[in-house]
Amino acid sequence: MADLMGFSLNSLRFSCSCPNSSLLSSFSSCLNSTHTSNQRLHKRGVSLCDSPSTSVEFVSRIAFSPNKRFPALKVQATITRTEEPKWWERNAGPNMIDIHSTQEFLDALSQAGERLVIVEFYGTWCASCKALFPKLCRTAKEHPGIMFLKVNFDANKSMCKALNVKVLPYFHFYRGADGQLESFSCSLAKFQKIKDAIQLHNTDRCSIGPPVGVGDLTLELLSVKKAST
């Protein structure tokens, strides 16, 4: 360690004692030797710069410098998952309407005028209702002039009990001043009953008088029944 320190000090004293011309010539020869070694390294495929820091800086400039021909673009993708509607939430078109209350039911019958109205009473848990529903949707598409009302039994139990709905799926047929035409239960195997009823009641006619609706079914009657139970 002492020898190394002495060598360094002697070299320093020697460099300081040399005149300027000697320093320049010595520095020039050092540069030439460095350049020659770099050329040899370049022929071997080594970096032109033998200094590690300079080599890292050179590589970093190549790797991270922006490309003018192909500018960097930031792309942000948003993926949203949308759940498919439940089978009873699917509607065939504007002539198929979900009923959520007795008032909506009465209003729909009143606004239907002379159109034939088919009311389906269903349960979300009812396997027969689920099996029949796709065919009912196709029927609604085939008859855009008929209004189809969907009533969820569990969400409208008071109204369904007032209308004597005891079996699911169950259907009511209404038309204008004629009021309720008929009612029956139906399954997929007996779907022809619905087609026959449509053919029977969906004929051209002119009724005199306002729509009858559902007879004695009113909000007041339902409220009284609900209070008594």
**In this structure, are residues 118 and 194 in contact, taking their beta carbons and an 8 Å threshold?**
yes
Torsion of CA 29, 33, 39, 42, to 10 degrees: -130
Q: Cβ–Cβ contacts within 10 Å for residue 199, how many? A: 9
Query: 179-185 and 170-175 as β-strands: parallel, antiparallel, unpaired?
Result: antiparallel
Supply the residues annotated as catalytic.
126, 129
